[in-house]
Amino acid sequence: MKCRALLLTVVMLPGCALFQRPFRPEHASKEEAAKLPYPLWLPSEGRVQVPANLAAAIELAMDDMLPRDVKPPRGATPDDVCLHRRDSYDVEAAPLNDEVVLVRFLVKEGACRSEGATATEAATYAVDVRGWRILAVQR
């Protein structure tokens, strides 16, 4: 009987992974949101329009480079912790052709340098914008 219960538990555990909720960003409280000016509008200064293919390619590459569920290892240096933060990177993106977008992640100037020099270029991705897959990564 114990053997069956153990076997059943082992068989069912991988199935639990199927019930994980997809990532959803945290939302502010209604009180905090009420402090914003309404209607929301974008000021002309600093406004950037990012084409849909570029925005989606950047998101796909960032999800590969820094998956949301990966945390820095125990005992990580401050630089390692910094390099696990998405806001530590600037992004350059450009279409290579109609089917491929190149996305380059650069460590933001002044970020992640508490213990010396940190490489500035993290990775360059080639993203297929037809099939939404990563074709190549150069680190």
Cβ neighbours of residue 102 under 8 Å, at least 6 residues apart? Answer: 93, 94, 95, 96, 124, 125, 126, 127
**Given this model, what pLDDT does residue 27 score?**
87
DSSP 8-state assignment for residue 138: E
110 Ramachandran zone, left/alpha/beta (phi>0; psi -120 to 50): left
Q: How far apart are CA 101 and CA 103, in angstroms?
A: 6
Q: What is the pLDDT of residues 4-13, one digit of tens each?
A: 655 556 556 6
Residue range 18-46, pLDDT digits in tens: 666 677 788 899 999 999 988 888 888 99
- Alpha carbons 63 and 83: distance in angstroms, whole number: 14
pTM score of the predicted model: 0.75
User: pLDDT tens digit string along 79-120?
Assistant: 888 889 999 999 999 999 999 999 999 998 888 876 555 567
For the stretch 59-76, pLDDT in tens is: 999 999 999 888 898 998
- Enumerate the β-bridge partners of residue 103: 93, 125
For 107, the enclosing helix (H) or strand (E) is strand 100-107
